[in-house]
C-alpha cells in the first residue's frame, strides 16, 4: 500500500490544484466562482475538484441550488484513499506547498480576481437591499413571521436558568422559553388552562406544570432565576401580593419580567374577560415592585402591533435584592 504522504503529494503535485486549494483556503467558493478566480473552464475546475475531493483535500456543502467548496483541513476525515486522518502531516505538507504557490504571479492574480468575485457578492446583496428597503419589513414577515426577531431574543437567556412562567395559561410562553433555558416551572390556578398547557407541552421535557394560586406559589423559596408574568396581573385582586410571592420564589439577584396593559377605559373587559384591573399606571406598578423587594425597576411601553385591537402594552422588569 502506498504511503498516504505520497498520495497527498500526487494530489498536490499539480499547479492548478494547488491554486484551487489556495483560493479555497481564503474563501468558500462555488465552481463558477472558482472558474472566475482561476480563469479556467468549468470542466477543468470540476475535474481538479473531484481529484482533490477524492483525496480528502476538499469539502463541500449544498446551499439551495449551489454547492460551496472549501479546503478540508479543519477536523475533516480523509476522503477516498486520501489522508487517512493524518491531519498533522497533511497540514505540514500544505504549509510547504502554500508558501511556494502563494509566491507565484498566478496566485497573486488569483487573489485579485477573488477580491473581485467577493465584491460582486456584496454588490448583489446591496442591490437587493437598495431595491427592497421600502418593503423589507413586510418581506421578512412574509418569509419568517412578524415576530421572528422577538422570538429569537430568548437566545440571550442563560441556558442554566430555572424560569417560572407564573399564570402560564395555555403554555405559550413556557413553550417559547423552554428551548433556551434549563427548566421552566409553569404555574396556573385553572385546571382547564393547565390541561391545555400540558397538551401543548407534552413533547417538551424541561417544562413542569403545577396548579396553584399566584398568591401562594407551589414553588420553594429561592428556586427561580427568573419569573415572567405575561398578561396576568390584571386578572388578580391583589397584584402586590403576587409580586411579593414572585420575589419569594426568586433567588437573590433573580429577575422578574411583567407584560401587561397600560391604563385604559374599556369597562366591557370586566364582564367579557374577567378583568379586575383596567391596566396599570407606571407609578402604581413601580410602588408595588419596590415594596416586593425589586430594584433597578423599569417600565417600557411596547409599540402597538399593526393588527392589534386591544389597549397598549408595557414591559416591566426588576431584580430581586440580594
Q: What is the pLDDT of residues 9-18, one digit of tens each?
A: 777 878 899 8
Q: What is the per-residue pLDDT for 141?
A: 67
Q: What is the per-residue pLDDT for 307?
A: 73
Q: CA 206 to CA 181: how far, in whole Å?
A: 9
Look at residue 48 and tell me whether its pLDDT is greater than 80: yes
Cell of 15: 499547479
Residue 140 pLDDT level (bands cut at 50, 70, 90): low
What is the average per-residue pLDDT within 37-59? 91
| 134 secondary structure, DSSP code | G
Task: For residue 216, give the 3-state DSSP assignment.
Answer: coil
Q: Tell me the CB-side half-sphere exposure of residue 45, using CA atoms within 13 A.
A: 20
Closest to 27 (Cα-Cα) out of 154, 90, 118, 105: 118
DSSP codes joined into one string, 143-186: HH-TTHHHHHGGGGS-TT-EEEEET-TTSHHHHHHGGGSSEEEE
Other Cβ atoms less than 10 A from the Cβ of 305: the count is: 11
Buried b (16+ CB within 10 A) or exposed e, 53-63: bebbbbbeeee
pTM, two decimals, is 0.61
What is the average per-residue pLDDT within 272-277? 89
DSSP H stretches of helix in 76-168: 87-102, 105-132, 136-144, 148-152
Q: Which of 26-40, 100-114, 116-130, 255-269 has the lowest mean pLDDT?
A: 116-130
Q: CA 243 to CA 42: how far, in whole Å?
A: 68
Cell of 44: 477543468
Give the contacts of 315 (CB within 8 A, at least 6 positions apart): 257, 258, 259, 299, 300, 302
What is the average per-residue pLDDT within 298-313? 86
Cell of 299: 417600565
Q: What is the pLDDT of residues 68-127, one digit of tens each?
A: 999 987 543 444 444 444 677 788 888 888 888 888 888 888 998 898 888 877 776 666
Look at residue 208 and tell me whether its pLDDT is greater than 60: yes
Look at residue 317 and tell me whether its pLDDT is greater than 90: yes
Closest to 173 (Cα-Cα) out of 218, 126, 228: 228
Quote the percentage of the chain above a pLDDT of 70.
Answer: 87
Look at residue 321 and tell me whether its pLDDT is greater than 50: yes
Give the residues across from 298 on adjacent strands: 317
Q: What is the per-residue pLDDT for 292?
A: 97
Q: What is the per-residue pLDDT for 153?
A: 85
Q: What is the per-residue pLDDT for 80?
A: 43
Q: What is the per-residue pLDDT for 118?
A: 85
Beta 250-261 vs 224-230: how paired, if at all?
Answer: parallel
Q: What is the per-residue pLDDT for 83?
A: 43
Cell of 165: 412562567
What is the average per-residue pLDDT within 136-165? 80
Task: For residue 231, give the 3-state DSSP assignment.
Answer: coil
Look at residue 139 and tell me whether its pLDDT is greater than 70: no
Closest to 168 (Cα-Cα) out of 124, 217, 134: 217
For residue 16, the Cα-to-chain-centroid distance in whole angstroms is 40
Quote the percentage of the chain above a pLDDT of 90.
Answer: 52
The answer to whether residues 163 and 181 touch, using CB atoms and an 8 Å cutoff, is yes
What is the average per-residue pLDDT within 152-162? 92
Q: What is the per-residue pLDDT for 81?
A: 41
Q: What is the per-residue pLDDT for 130?
A: 60
Q: What is the per-residue pLDDT for 176?
A: 93
Q: What is the per-residue pLDDT for 79?
A: 43
Q: What is the per-residue pLDDT for 132?
A: 56
Q: Tell me the CB-side half-sphere exposure of residue 275, using CA atoms within 13 A.
A: 19
Q: CA 302 to CA 173: how far, in whole Å?
A: 17
Residue 26 pLDDT level (bands cut at 50, 70, 90): confident
What is the average per-residue pLDDT within 260-266? 92
Q: What is the per-residue pLDDT for 142?
A: 73
Q: What is the per-residue pLDDT for 256?
A: 98
Closest to 72 (Cα-Cα) out of 97, 47, 49: 49
Three-point CA angle 164, 170, 174, nearest 5°: 35
What mean pLDDT, rounded, does the chain reach?
Answer: 86
The answer to whether residues 174 and 199 touch, using CB atoms and an 8 Å cutoff, is no
Q: CA 225 to CA 319: how far, in whole Å?
A: 10
Q: Which helix (H) or strand (E) holds 51?
A: helix 42-54
Amino acid at each position: 500500500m502506498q504511503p498516504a504522504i505520497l498520495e497527498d503529494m500526487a494530489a498536490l503535485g499539480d499547479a492548478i490544484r494547488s491554486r484551487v486549494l489556495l483560493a479555497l483556503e481564503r474563501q468558500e467558493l462555488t465552481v463558477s466562482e472558482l472558474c472566475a478566480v482561476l480563469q479556467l473552464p468549468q470542466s477543468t475546475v470540476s475535474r481538479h475538484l473531484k481529484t482533490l475531493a477524492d483525496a480528502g483535500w476538499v469539502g463541500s456543502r449544498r446551499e439551495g441550488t449551489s454547492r460551496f467548496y472549501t479546503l478540508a483541513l479543519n477536523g475533516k476525515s480523509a476522503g477516498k484513499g486520501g489522508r487517512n486522518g493524518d491531519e498533522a502531516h497533511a497540514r505540514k505538507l500544505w504549509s510547504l506547498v502554500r508558501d511556494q504557490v502563494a509566491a507565484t504571479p498566478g496566485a497573486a492574480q488569483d487573489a485579485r480576481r477573488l477580491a473581485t468575485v467577493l465584491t460582486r457578492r456584496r454588490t448583489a446583496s446591496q442591490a437587493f437591499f437598495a431595491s427592497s428597503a421600502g418593503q423589507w419589513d413586510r418581506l421578512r414577515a412574509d418569509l419568517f413571521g412578524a415576530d421572528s426577531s422577538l422570538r429569537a431574543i430568548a437566545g440571550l437567556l442563560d441556558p442554566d436558568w430555572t424560569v417560572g412562567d407564573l399564570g402560564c395559561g395555555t403554555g405559550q410562553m413556557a413553550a417559547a422559553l423552554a428551548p433556551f433555558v434549563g427548566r421552566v416551572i409553569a404555574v396556573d390556578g385553572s385546571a382547564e388552562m393547565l390541561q391545555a398547557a400540558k397538551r401543548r407541552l407534552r413533547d417538551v421535557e424541561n417544562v413542569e406544570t403545577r396548579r396553584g394560586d399566584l398568591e401562594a406559589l407551589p414553588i420553594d423559596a429561592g428556586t427561580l432565576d427568573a419569573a415572567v408574568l405575561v398578561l396576568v396581573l390584571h386578572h388578580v385582586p391583589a397584584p402586590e401580593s403576587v409580586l411579593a410571592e414572585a420575589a419569594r420564589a426568586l433567588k437573590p439577584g433573580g429577575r422578574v419580567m411583567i407584560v401587561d396593559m397600560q391604563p385604559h377605559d374599556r369597562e366591557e373587559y370586566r364582564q367579557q374577560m374577567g378583568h379586575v384591573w383596567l391596566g396599570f399606571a407606571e407609578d402604581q406598578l413601580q410602588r408595588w415592585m419596590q415594596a416586593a423587594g425589586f430594584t433597578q425597576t423599569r417600565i417600557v411601553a411596547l409599540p402597538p402591533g399593526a393588527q392589534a385591537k386591544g389597549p397598549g402594552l408595557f414591559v416591566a422588569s426588576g431584580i430581586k435584592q440580594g
